[in-house]
Amino acid sequence: MKKLKLVQQIVEEGVVAVLRGDTPDEVVEMAEQAIAGGIKVIEVTMTVPFALQAIERLAKTYSSTSADPSKYAIIGVGTVLDPETARAAILSGSEFVVGPSLNPDTVTLCNRYRVPVMPGVMTIQEIQKALELGVDVVKLFPGNLYSPAMIKAIKGPLPQANIMPTGGVSLGNLGEWIKAGAVAVGIGSDLTSEAVKTGDYSLVAKRAAQYIEAYRTAKA
């Protein structure tokens, strides 16, 4: 039941902050600001040096089961290439796993521990394989190579597929992705680039609030 509930929570939140940075401190600061701005699903990518430290620190403060609204968030890991990395992240407190591609062994491990896994896919064949492996949500990646029309096309033969585009999602097109049938969206550099450039990480919170507003408008 925990896995199903987490998937439902992620879909209900609808916006995932995909965070990359140079240090765990930087990524933790980004995450805290994104959460303050209203984005409650945080994906710490494994390209961050010592990423597991950042996940562990965040998981000690935030949880998907917290009754305190200020401590409610779902902390996960991204850019996972293999089951070994997935297991290490889960032990560090990650509540979900995201990968850039479909690795059956990673999916099997996550299913074993009842942890939601969202592998990256690019084709109908990969999506069908993911569904057969028991994946609940697939990540359409890189999203900037496609358009929202891609989701409509996929849902013709595979209406049961839950799709989360990541890469290329912006404030300008978020509504189009949601209206095309995306169950959630992953937001990357557009959320954090200005903050990194200026050193003012409060800008992440402001940008996050804009994304949440755009998402709610699209869902209304």
pLDDT in tens, 109-123: 999 999 999 999 999
pLDDT number for residue 62: 98
pLDDT number for residue 67: 96
pLDDT number for residue 170: 95
User: Which of 186, 169, 178, 182 is CA-nearest to residue 43?
Assistant: 186
Q: pTM here?
A: 0.96
pLDDT number for residue 82: 98
**Structural domains in the chain?**
2-215 (3.20.20.70)
Instruction: Copy the structure tokens of residue 110.
Output: 């996550």
Strand order in 163-165's β-sheet?
A: 120-121, 138-140, 163-165
User: Which of 176, 181, 153, 169 is CA-nearest to residue 207?
Assistant: 169
The answer to whether residues 209 and 37 touch, using CB atoms and an 8 Å cutoff, is: yes
pLDDT number for residue 133: 98
H-run or E-run covering 74? strand 74-78
The answer to whether residues 147 and 163 touch, using CB atoms and an 8 Å cutoff, is: no
pLDDT number for residue 15: 99
DSSP β-bridge partners for residue 163: 138
Query: Which portions of the chain are predicted below pLDDT 70?
Result: 1
The residues near 126 (Cβ < 8 Å, ≥ 6 apart) are 102, 138
